[in-house]
């Protein structure tokens, strides 16, 4: 991989982090990120473009640590039932949102 691609990955990560800071709702961010992740996975993109989008932009935009922190706050309150419901809901909804993005992308092309 060329040095230019590393610079593009860093710039994509910077842009994603900036967008991530402007939107404070973790669930909304994960839904948007999952949809577009599924959308771009189905596209025939070059290796470097996939790395820039998937490793640079989407990994910083969806921010797994935000999801974990949200669950940690619920768990810290001692509400196990709410924790289990939110954990499963977030994972399942994001999975289906990603599959929907994949499906939409296939229908468009």
| Tens-place pLDDT, residues 77-99 | 998 999 999 899 888 998 999 99
- Using DSSP, state whether 77 is helix, strand or coil: coil
Reference 53, options 104, 16, 107; nearest CA is 16
Residues of the chain scoring pLDDT < 70: 1
pLDDT on residue 90: 86
What pLDDT sits at residue 27?
81
pLDDT score at 84:
93
Place of tokens 């994960």: 30
What value does the mean pLDDT of the chain take?
A: 88
Q: How far apart are CA 95 and CA 77, in angstroms?
A: 27
Burial environment of residue 9 by CB neighbours within 10 A (0 to 12, 13 to 18, 19 or more)? buried
Please name which of 4, 5, 29 lies closest in space to residue 16, comparing C-alpha atoms: 29
pLDDT of residue 65: 73
Other residues' Cβ atoms within 10 Å of the Cβ of residue 21: 9
Residue ranges covered by each domain of the chain: 3-108
Going by the DSSP 8-state scheme, the letter that residue 78 receives in this structure is T
């Amino acid at each position: 991989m060329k040095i230019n691609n590393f610079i593009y990955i860093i710039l994509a990560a910077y842009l994603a982090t900036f967008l991530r800071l402007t939107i404070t709702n973790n669930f909304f961010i994960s839904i948007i990120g999952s949809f577009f992740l599924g959308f771009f996975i189905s596209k025939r993109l070059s290796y470097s473009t996939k790395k820039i989008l998937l490793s640079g932009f989407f990994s910083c935009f969806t921010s797994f640590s935000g999801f974990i922190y949200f669950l940690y706050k619920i768990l810290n309150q001692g509400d196990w039932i709410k924790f289990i419901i939110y954990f499963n809901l977030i994972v399942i909804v994001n999975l289906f949102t990603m599959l929907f993005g994949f499906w939409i992308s296939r229908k468009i092309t």
